[in-house]
A and B are shown apart, each in its own frame.
Chain A
Amino acid sequence: MRRLVVLIILMAAAAVPAGADAALNVYAAASLRNVFPALDGAPSYNFAGSNTLQRQIDNGAPADVFASAEPAEAQALFRAGRCTRPVTFATNILVLLIPKDNPGSIRSAYTLRDGGKRLAIGTAGVPIGNYTRLLLRRMRLSSILDSNIVSQETDVASITAKVALGSADAGFVYHTDALASRGRTSELRLPKWAQPAVRYKLCAVVRTGADTSGAQAFIRKVSSNAGRSALRHYGFGLPPRG
């Protein structure tokens, strides 16, 4: 009996979360899930929708770096004094993703006007969702959200997964996600003139008592030549230097 009690206490002690972790905590938009670990394998990553991450950081999550897929989240944190001034480090474009066998017979975004297809898009708060809705307003296709069966996903990785598995006939994702899933999907380009200006922002999270040197080093790495070349390789666009 006594041995059992000792065992339980030891297990509890082992489960107690460790104190100041040596690894950097990077909270990044879901579309960066392939390029960031390839660029730097050391930090511990948390990939999710940028709005979800912003809420987590607002509630005190122990992030060191925040990378969002649209300026709004990073700027909101900056105005609240929770992070340093955000810098633009990458751009992207929206594409229409379809499964390789194209069960919905979709030739372009305009095919969706016919209705009745299974469409996966982002929710109204997540960057991909906001960008998609802006694109649809510009193409005058907002009605496709009513005439099709639309599943709203919390991040772009879920949209990509639904299309790749054939659950959805089409999904609005970034070009980088289309590249990542090119074995199981094809991408249909969307008009240049209607594209939203997708701007990725990077900033170091400010927490009392935590030092930001690791975060600054990570940010420098992403902005360096190696970082830019990795971003280009994975299909991102780059802002002009400086």
Chain B
Amino acid sequence: MIRRAGFDALLALCAGVALAFFALPIVALFTQVPLSRVPDLLGDRAVRDAIVVTLRTNAIANVLILALGTPTAYLLATRRFRGRSVLITLVELPLVLPPAVAGIALLAAFGRGGLFGGALASGGIVLPFTQWAVVLAVTFVAAPFYLRQAIAAFSAVDPLLPDAARTLGASPARTFWRISLPLAAGGLAAGWVLAFARGVGEFGATIVFAGSVRGQTQTLTLAIYDQLEANFDVAIALGILLVLLSATVLLCFKLLSTWRSSNSTSPSPFARTPSASA
């Protein structure tokens, strides 16, 4: 009895320390500046520029991620071919790559002196210091988050259903659009939400590859770093904005996961199946 109470107390203590460690910095962020000042601070010209840059570059990047990533994930999830596992590892690589390394790698490929730099330059395209560089950096680091979830979501679709559609005469494209995609939609959305959050928070690859050009490549995270010296209060306000954004993203992710697990007709590791499928 006592041993169990002692064990429970130890668990509670560890949990308490861990929760306090995670909660305190977030709470401290909200106490450094009177919250009534935050909207004014966010009206600062540098902040507005940063918001515009972040929204524009992330919108384009997310469109690219969805447009290119969805077919890629479908291919990797549903077709079996030699080298499939190598390709899956390749698309997951940026997940474990330090962001600054991603930045240097992008420079080595697309910078002026890089592998494709000469070819791009002769076409009149110089990427560093432009918004397209930010788009590339965000896509590079955020796409794996989407791809991994998307592959899992497509794999979780019960293969009987697309097979049934094929036997009924649907083309592969129609099967994808009308069967696989809607069934995997919950998982895809959850993956996209993570990719979006990662993209908005990108710092290392952006600052190395795209530079910190106010109004062009200075995203919200780069603006925090810049404002740290100039105006600490603005940096705090930016932090609060991003915390609220991240919390919203996390909430969406949780809601989508719940929705998916209750809607899906496929056996999925997250779903609570009332009974085995027929």
Task: State the A residues within 8 Å of B (CB).
Answer: 51-52, 55, 99, 103, 118, 120, 123-126, 149-154, 162, 165-168
Q: Is the interface of A mostly helix, strand, loop or mixed?
A: mixed
| Contacts of B103-152 to chain A: CB distance below 8 A | 107, 111-113, 117, 121, 126, 128-129
Shortest distance from the beta carbon of A126 to any chain B beta carbon, whole Å = 8
Residues of the B chain whose Cβ atoms lie less than 8 Å from the Cβ of A166: 111-113, 117, 128
Q: Is the interface of B mostly helix, strand, loop or mixed?
A: loop
Residues of the A chain whose Cβ atoms lie less than 8 Å from the Cβ of B57: none
Known: A51-B229, A167-B107. A120 touches B211 (CB 8 A): yes
Q: Nearest CB to that of A124 among chain B residues?
A: B230
B33 contacts chain A at the CB level, 8 A cutoff:
no
- Cross-chain pair count, CB within 8 angstroms: 56
Residues of the B chain whose Cβ atoms lie less than 8 Å from the Cβ of A118: 126, 128-129
B214 contacts chain A at the CB level, 8 A cutoff:
yes
Instruction: Decide if B229 touches A125 in the complex (CB within 8 Å).
Output: yes
| Contacts of B244-273 to chain A: CB distance below 8 A | none
Considering the chains assembled together, what is the distance between the CA atoms of A208 and B242 in angstroms? 38
Instruction: Decide if B217 touches A165 in the complex (CB within 8 Å).
Output: no
Considering the chains assembled together, what is the distance between the CA atoms of A56 and B213 in angstroms? 25
Considering the chains assembled together, what is the distance between the CA atoms of A151 and B126 in angstroms? 15
B111, B112, B129: the one within 8 Å of A151 (CB): B129
Residues of the A chain whose Cβ atoms lie less than 8 Å from the Cβ of B211: 120, 151, 153, 162, 167-168
Residues of the B chain whose Cβ atoms lie less than 8 Å from the Cβ of A99: 112
Point out which of A103, A126, A152, A167 has the most chain B C-beta atoms below 10 A from its C-beta: A167
Considering the chains assembled together, what is the distance between the CA atoms of A103 and B120 in angstroms? 14
Instruction: Decide if B129 touches A168 in the complex (CB within 8 Å).
Output: yes
